[in-house]
């Protein structure tokens, strides 16, 4: 049985180009260019839209163009941050009275 001839299997001895590495590089460049970055306001808006329940999570994610796993990760982080804030775990740098006393001091 005879093998099918391809441009790189012509029987010549030589260096065949590494097509897989070249294709991988092209794919990496495309992913790098198309990766979206969401700022905090966008993340909060998307999480709140999901929590409102007007649409399903899958539909909300489809509209926003993100994977459901990412939505659930953001949702978990959002709820944990709120939980810590309500529990009083976060400390403020200075209270209102501290700020007023510092402003009253001469420079």
Structural domain boundaries of the chain? 38-87
Stated as kind and residue range, the H or E segment containing 65 is: none
- The answer on pLDDT for 99 being more than 70 is yes
pLDDT digits over 11-42, tens only? 455 555 688 899 999 888 887 777 788 999 99
**Average predicted confidence (pLDDT) for the chain:** 81
Q: Using N-to-C axis directions, what is the helix angle for 40-52 and 68-87, rounded to 10°?
A: 100
Q: Give the pLDDT of residue 13.
A: 54
Helices vs. strands in the chain: H and E counts, helices first:
5, 0
Q: Give the pLDDT of residue 106.
A: 79
According to DSSP, residue 17 is labeled P
Average pLDDT over residues 50-65: 94
Q: Rounded to an integer, what distance in angstroms lies between the CA atom of residue 86 and that of residue 73?
A: 20
- The answer on pLDDT for 63 being more than 60 is yes
């Amino acid at each position: 049985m005879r093998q099918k001839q391809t441009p790189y299997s012509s029987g010549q001895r030589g260096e065949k180009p590494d097509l897989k590495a070249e294709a991988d590089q092209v794919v990496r460049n495309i992913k790098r260019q198309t990766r979206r970055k969401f700022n905090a306001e966008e993340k909060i808006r998307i999480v709140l839209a999901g929590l409102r329940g007007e649409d399903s999570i899958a539909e909300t994610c489809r509209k926003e163009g993100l994977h459901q796993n990412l939505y659930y990760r953001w949702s978990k982080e959002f709820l944990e941050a709120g939980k810590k804030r309500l529990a009083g775990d976060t400390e403020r740098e200075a209270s209102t009275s501290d700020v007023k006393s510092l402003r009253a001091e001469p420079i």
